[in-house]
Structure 1
Amino acid sequence: MARRAPGRWRWAWWLLAYGALGLGLVGIVVPGLPTVPFVLLSAYAAARGSRRLHAWLRRHGQFGPMIRDWQAQGAVSRRAKRLATAMMALCAVVMFLTAPRAWMAATGTTIMAIVAIWLWRRPEPQARAGGRATLPP
Structure 2
Amino acid sequence: MRVVLNLLGLFFVALGVIGIFVPVLPTTVFLIIAAVIFARFNPEWERRILAHPKFGPPVRAFRERGVIGPAAKIAAVGGMAVSSVIGFVTLRGVWAFVPAGVCLLCALYVLSRPSQ
Work out whether the TM-score is over 0.5: yes
Q: Does 1:52 align with 2:63?
A: no
For the aligned residue pairs, the C-alpha RMSD in angstroms reads 1.8
Pick aligned residue for 1:27 from 19, 22, 27: 19
Matched, 1:39 2:22: no
Deviation of the 1:32 alpha carbon: 4.6
The answer to whether residue 114 in structure 2 is matched with residue 91 in structure 1 is: no
1:108 is matched with 99
| Matched-pair contact (CA < 8 Å) for 2:9–2:33 | yes
SS in structure 1 of the partner of residue 67 of structure 2: coil
TM-superposed CA distance for 1:72, in Å, is 1.1
Report which stretch shifted further, 34-43 or 104-113: 34-43
Unmatched segments (≥5 aa) in structure 2: none
**Alpha-carbon deviation of 1:36?**
2.8
The answer (yes or no) to whether the contact 1:13–1:49 under 8 Å persists in 2 is: yes
Unaligned residue ranges in structure 1 (runs of 5+) = 1-8, 126-137
Q: Structure 1 residue 111: deviation in Å?
A: 0.3
Q: Under a length normalisation based on structure 2, what TM-score does the superposition of the two structures give? A: 0.86
Q: Does 1:69 align with 2:61?
A: yes
> Sequence identity, in percent?
30
Distance 1:119 1:14, change over 3 A: same
Amino acid at match of 2:55: F
Cα offset, 1:35, TM superposition: 2.8
- Report the Cα offset of residue 87 of structure 1: 0.7
On the 8 A contact 2:88/2:99 being kept in 1, the answer is no
Q: Higher mean Cα deviation, 52-61 or 106-115?
A: 52-61
Q: How many residues align?
A: 116
CA distance in 2, matches of 1:105, 1:62: 36
Q: Give TM-score, length-normalised by structure 1.
A: 0.74
Q: Please tell me the residue identity of whatever aligns with 1:15.
A: L
